[in-house]
Amino acid sequence: MKLHESVKTSHQQVALWGSAFAFTVCFAVWTIFSIIDIQIKAELGLNDTQFGLLVATPILTGSLIRLALGIWTDQFGGRIVFALVMLSAAAATWFLTTMSTYPGYLFAALLVGVAGGSFAVGIAYVSKWFPKEKQGTALGIFGAGNVGAAVTKLLAPMIMVAYGWHAVAKIWAVALALTAVLYFLFTKDDPELADRRKTGARPEPFLQQLAPLRNIQVWRFSLYYFFVFGAFVALALWLPRYLVGAYGMDVKTAGVIGAMYSIPASLFRIVGGWISDRTGARTVMYWTFGVSVVCTFLLSYPATTYVVDGIDGPIQFTLAMGVVPFTVLVFTLGFFMSLGKAAVYKHIPVYYPHHVGAVGGVVGMIGGLGGFILPICFGALNDWLGIWTSCFMLLFLIVAAALAWMHFAIRRMEHRQFPEIRRETVLPELLDATRER
Q: Where are the domains positioned within the chain?
A: 1-209, 214-437
For the four alpha carbons of 129, 134, 135 and 140, in that order, the dihedral sign comes to negative
Residue 225, amino acid: Y
Q: What is the pTM of this model?
A: 0.74
Q: What Cα–Cα distance (Å) separates residue 102 from each residue in 45, 56, 93, 385?
A: 10, 14, 16, 32
Q: Does CATH place domain 1-209 in 1.20.1250.20?
A: yes
Q: What are 101-109's contacts with CB under 8 Å, separation 24+?
A: 101/44, 102/44, 102/46, 102/50, 102/54, 105/40, 105/44, 105/54, 106/53, 106/54, 106/57, 109/33, 109/54, 109/57, 109/58, 109/61
∠ CA 433-337-236, rounded to 5°: 140
Is 287 within 8 Å of 336 (Cβ atoms)? Answer: yes
Nearest to 114 by CA among 94, 84, 139, 142: 84
The answer to whether the 1-209 and 214-437 domains have the same CATH topology is yes
Give the pLDDT band of residue 261 (cuts 50, 70, 90): confident
pLDDT at 222 over 50: yes
Give the pLDDT band of residue 433 (cuts 50, 70, 90): very low
Q: What Cα–Cα distance (Å) separates residue 268 from each residue in 197, 278, 331?
A: 37, 16, 11
The predicted model gives 261-270 an average pLDDT of 75
Strand partners, 306: 317
Q: Tell me the per-residue pLDDT of 9-42, one tens digit each, with 9 for 90 and over.
A: 788 889 999 999 999 999 999 888 877 877 888 8
The architecture in CATH of the region 214-437 reads: Up-down Bundle (1.20)
Nearest-angstrom CA–CA distance, 57 and 257: 25
Nearest-angstrom CA–CA distance, 207 and 223: 23
Q: Tell me the per-residue pLDDT of 116-169, one tens digit each, with 9 for 90 and over.
A: 889 889 888 888 888 877 877 888 888 888 788 778 877 888 888 888 889 999
Nearest-angstrom CA–CA distance, 49 and 35: 16
